[in-house]
Amino acid sequence: MALTSPAGTLGEQPSAALREFVAEHYGACGAAEVGLDRMALAAMLAQIAAQAGPFDDAASELSFLQSLRLEELVLARACALGSEHAWEVFLNRYRNILYESAYKIAPVESEARILADSLYAELYGVDAKGQQRTSKLLYYQGRGSLQGWLRVVVAQEYINRYRGTRRETSLDAAVEGGAQFAIAQAECVAIDPRVEAAVSAELAALDGNERLLLAAYYLDHRTLAEIAKLLGVHESTISRKLVRITSAARKRIRKRLMQSGMTGRQADEVMEDVEVRDLRVKVRETLEQGPPDSTFYQKKGESQG
Amino acid sequence: MNDKLPKPMLDALASAAKPAEHPSSDLLTAFAEQSLTAPDKELVADHLGRCAECREVVFLANTAPEASEPEDELVAAEFRDAPSRPVAPYAVAAMTSPAVVAKPRWWASRWVWATSAAAVCLVVGGLFVGQRFTAVPRARQVALQSEPALGNRYPEKAEPEKPSQNAAPEAAPAAPKMKTQAAAQQASVPRAGRITPTPGEVIGLSDQAPAPRPSKEQRASAQPATPAADSHTIAINGALARPILTAPKASGFAPSSGQPQIDSLNMSMNRLVTSAARTQHSTWRISSQGQLEHLTADGWTRVLADQTAGFRVVSVVGSEVWAGGNDGMLFHSSDNGLQWDRVALANAGAVETGAIVSIRFSDAQNGEVETNSGGNYSTSNGGVTWTKQ
């Protein structure tokens, strides 16, 4: 049974590099086994390349095609197009991964099971009426591994579900759980335009990785290990980068503020995140201070006397 | 980390405008797997720095378990090689049902380990105790050697009044269990890499082979005619193969004092050894219908299908395969089952007609064959010549 890719209807014309790539890899990628002919494979790849492109030259396009997970892409696309044999293979290889991911991501077992089951239905492509089949696997484009893609899909689905049910949380339960509903803080008043300009310039100077590091560590409070795992580097590397970025940012902002007319002390005060509980008051030393040799009253009496 | 991010910068970072478009799941996956090109990686990282939702997704997905191999590589290979075939909806539903996919639990794995450890302890303990108690029957065996030779290794149990009839009720409860184990073995096709039969291992289960029912005269005669249910032949790591006597009380044999305990110990030990042997992966087996079967890429395939007499035992030593069964049937293959030669067991012109219940080879040349009629043949040249002992 030959499968016809819907990508063929998009009118993406396979380039010469793509045709050469298909001719070279068609036999090895298992497309024939799942009923995907050369034309369907070429149309599918042309669609993916068009979304990722444009490419400067044929070499870059070929490099992109070679970076794709072709075998997994073919399997996913064949599943989406209705190949039962491909679906069998998919079940055998990825069923456990899907359920394990759901159980790992969702804290409650029943939620995880519902999550995985619903995702299975979406991957199989059964719509609400059970008539038309549109598989979620059509969105897999082979840039990463299929199992990694499944994990991301599970995580996205979990977050969507969490957001959908979050408003159903009762306030009583939240209060009993220890939540405190503080009065919303008023918006910050009158930010100094000099500060705003300096910070905006500093943020614009950050590259993507630096920005991700700062956001993950300072906003999301991710651990060094989590960030290091995501970026594929050692924890110490993350730690060094964070120190370097923050110290450099502090210096540059201070410099910009001073260039805009602030004194050094003013710039430091602006950058400090001072709260009352952060103040280090040396209570013991203060209380243990003995009376000064000449107090105000003594001096006052002496002067009157 | 001593340096803190300046407060205004932290506020600006938190209140940065969220991008309207998000990268696809595919790009997020590729970013987490470090498989993006540098420009794409920079774009996705920049987006992640601005979008808390995508950061949450990526970090959440990154905590999920890593890749695990398919449950059964052989099954996966079968899927790859098999032609397209439709799947019944109920099959898909069954495979996707939560009952099928159970969440692995820490206590489950601990129970598996605990059960395995307990089984090993029982086997070792049973072997130890069994060796201590077997001194008594061996002594009695020596004493009984002056009696007419019965051709049985355990003469004290060799003269049951109704061996076949009495053994059947004892063996009957074990049959469904063995069938279930065989079905389970068939359902979970073992990995090719695990199929390593040990030298001298006797794999076949002779009690499942259909044996001709001995006549009343034969049962009444002095010939022991070891009952089918009594002939589990298990030899592991070169240990001496011996029949398992499963019904000592029902056989009518009057044991000496302490014999029931010994028999029960032997029975439990033998059952443990039997179950341990059955759980080992093998490429050869005897089916419940007495057919010799070999595991190939197509599953279990019947071998020597033209033989009507039931097979009882099969022994594998490297590529040397020996299969024996009723009517003295003995086959040998030196190329792991591609070609077979019929081997005739004869002694002084008399061809052996008893059922072969034990085949034990220590290597490719030296081995022993035992029949239920008491015949014990040995060879030292790979089966070219046999000597009856």
In this structure, what CATH number is given to the domain that contains residue A204? 1.10.10.10
Whether A176 is in a domain gets the answer no
Chain B within 8 Å of A32 (Cβ-Cβ)? no
Nearest to A44 by CA among A75, A68, A12: A12
In three-state secondary structure terms, B188 is coil
Q: Give the span between the Cα atoms of B349 and A76, in whole angstroms.
A: 68
Chain B within 8 Å of A55 (Cβ-Cβ)? no
Whether A285 is in a domain gets the answer no
Q: Is the pLDDT of residue B132 over 50?
A: yes
Whether A290 is in a domain gets the answer no
Q: Which of A246-250, B66-70, B102-106 has the lowest mean pLDDT?
A: B102-106
How sure is the predictor about B204, in pLDDT bands with cuts at 50, 70 and 90? very low
Chain B within 8 Å of A116 (Cβ-Cβ)? yes
The torsion region of residue B195 among left (phi > 0), alpha (psi -120 to 50) and beta comes to beta
Asked whether the beta carbons of residue A216 and residue B36 sit closer than 8 angstroms, the reply is no
Task: For residue B64, give the chain A residue with the closest CA.
Answer: A101
- Residue B281's CB: how many other CB atoms inside 10 A? 16
Q: Are residues A157 and A217 in the same domain?
A: no
**Residues B56 and B28 sit within 8 Å (Cβ to Cβ):** no
**Residues B226 and B244 sit within 8 Å (Cβ to Cβ):** no
In three-state secondary structure terms, A269 is helix
Q: Give the span between the Cα atoms of B13 and A212, in whole angstroms.
A: 10
What range defines the domain where residue A28 resides? 6-68
Alpha helices of chain B — where are they, by DSSP H?
7-14, 25-32, 38-50, 52-63, 73-81, 89-96, 106-133, 135-144, 163-171, 174-187, 216-220, 259-279
Q: Is the pLDDT of residue B303 over 80?
A: yes
Q: Is the pLDDT of residue B360 over 80?
A: yes
Q: How far is C-alpha A201 from the chain's CA centre?
A: 24
Chain B within 8 Å of A37 (Cβ-Cβ)? no
Asked whether the beta carbons of residue A91 and residue B92 sit closer than 8 angstroms, the reply is yes
Of B4, B65, B87, the CB nearest to A84: B87
Which 26-65 residues of chain B touch chain A by CB within 8 A? 26-37, 41-50, 52-53, 55-65
Asked whether the beta carbons of residue A273 and residue B70 sit closer than 8 angstroms, the reply is no
Q: Give the span between the Cα atoms of B235 and A36, in whole angstroms.
A: 52
More reliable by pLDDT, A299 or A79: A79
* Cβ-based burial of B63 (10 A; exposed 0-12, middle 13-18, buried ≥19): middle
How sure is the predictor about A117, in pLDDT bands with cuts at 50, 70 and 90? confident
User: What's the pLDDT score for residue A197?
Assistant: 84
User: What's the pLDDT score for residue B147?
Assistant: 40
Place of tokens 């790009």: B27
**Tokens matching residue A103:** 């159980």
A141 min Cα distance to partner chain B (Å): 6
Chain B within 8 Å of A233 (Cβ-Cβ)? no
Chain B within 8 Å of A91 (Cβ-Cβ)? yes
Whether A282 is in a domain gets the answer no
Q: Which residues contact A196 (CB under 8 A, 6 or more apart)?
A: B8, B12
Q: Are residues A63 and A91 in the same domain?
A: no
C-alpha distance from residue A280 to each of A283, B1, B5, B7 (Å):
9, 19, 20, 19
Q: What is the mean pLDDT of residues A160-189?
A: 62
Q: Are residues A64 and A112 in the same domain?
A: no
pLDDT in tens, B135-154: 444 444 433 343 433 334 33
In three-state secondary structure terms, B358 is strand
DSSP state of A217: I
Q: What is the mean pLDDT of residues B287-315?
A: 83
A287 min Cα distance to partner chain B (Å): 30
Whether A240 is in a domain gets the answer yes
Q: Give the span between the Cα atoms of A20 and B67, in whole angstroms.
A: 32
Chain B within 8 Å of A242 (Cβ-Cβ)? yes
Q: Are residues A92 and A160 in the same domain?
A: yes
B380 min Cα distance to partner chain A (Å): 48
User: What's the pLDDT score for residue B146?
Assistant: 38
User: What's the pLDDT score for residue A282?
Assistant: 60
Q: Is the pLDDT of residue A303 over 60?
A: no
Of B1, B8, B103, the CB nearest to A109: B103
Whether A284 is in a domain gets the answer no
C-alpha distance from residue A123 to each of A48, A81, A88, B208, B278 (Å):
19, 11, 13, 46, 40
Chain A within 8 Å of B94 (Cβ-Cβ)? no
Q: Are residues A197 and A262 in the same domain?
A: yes
* Mean pLDDT, rounded, of chain B: 61
User: What's the pLDDT score for residue A182?
Assistant: 55
Q: What is the mean pLDDT of residues B178-187?
A: 40
Which 104-133 residues of chain B touch chain A by CB within 8 A? 104
* Cβ-based burial of A224 (10 A; exposed 0-12, middle 13-18, buried ≥19): middle
Of A140, A154, A198, the CB nearest to B26: A140
Percent of chain A with pLDDT strictly greater than 90? 0
Percent of chain B with pLDDT strictly greater than 70? 47
pLDDT in tens, B228-264: 333 333 333 333 333 333 333 333 333 334 444 444 4
Q: Give the span between the Cα atoms of B96 and B101, in whole angstroms.
A: 7
Q: Give the bridge partners for B311, in sequence order.
A: B325
Run of H or E residues at A248:
helix A235-259
User: What's the pLDDT score for residue A171?
Assistant: 63
Q: Which of A20-34, A200-214, A287-301, B309-323 has the lowest mean pLDDT?
A: A287-301
User: What's the pLDDT score for residue A128?
Assistant: 59
User: What's the pLDDT score for residue B257?
Assistant: 41
Contacts of B56 in chain A (CB under 8 A): 155, 159, 220
Q: Which residues contact A246 (CB under 8 A, 6 or more apart)?
A: A214, B1, B3, B4, B5, B6
- Residue B161's CB: how many other CB atoms inside 10 A? 12
**How many domains does chain A fold into?**
3
Task: For residue A51, give the chain B residue with the closest CA.
Answer: B24
More reliable by pLDDT, B227 or A279: A279
Of B9, B35, B60, the CB nearest to A202: B9
Q: Which residues contact B213 (CB under 8 A, 6 or more apart)?
A: B164
User: What's the pLDDT score for residue B155?
Assistant: 38
More reliable by pLDDT, A217 or B216: A217
How sure is the predictor about A257, in pLDDT bands with cuts at 50, 70 and 90? confident
Q: Domain boundary at A15, A34, A68, which?
A: A68
Whether A297 is in a domain gets the answer no
B46 min Cα distance to partner chain A (Å): 4
Which 124-153 residues of chain A touch chain B by CB within 8 A? 124, 139-145, 147-149, 151-153
Q: What is the 3-state secondary structure (H, E, C) of A172-216?
A: HHHHHCCCCCCCCCCCCCCCCHHHHHHHHHHHHHCCHHHHHHHHH
User: What's the pLDDT score for residue A304?
Assistant: 56
C-alpha distance from residue B123 to each of B113, B115, B120, B199, B203 (Å):
15, 12, 5, 20, 18
Q: Give the span between the Cα atoms of B98 and B101, in whole angstroms.
A: 5
User: What's the pLDDT score for residue B6?
Assistant: 81
* Mean pLDDT, rounded, of chain A: 77
Whether A109 is in a domain gets the answer yes
Place of tokens 């299975």: A120
Of A64, A87, A105, the CB nearest to B60: A105
Q: Domain boundary at A131, A166, A201, which?
A: A166
Which 279-298 residues of chain A touch chain B by CB within 8 A? none
Of B1, B34, B101, the CB nearest to A243: B1
Q: Give the span between the Cα atoms of B28 and B14, in whole angstroms.
A: 21
Q: Give the span between the Cα atoms of A139 and A131, in whole angstroms.
A: 20
Q: Is the pLDDT of residue A60 over 70?
A: yes
Of B4, B24, B52, the CB nearest to A220: B52
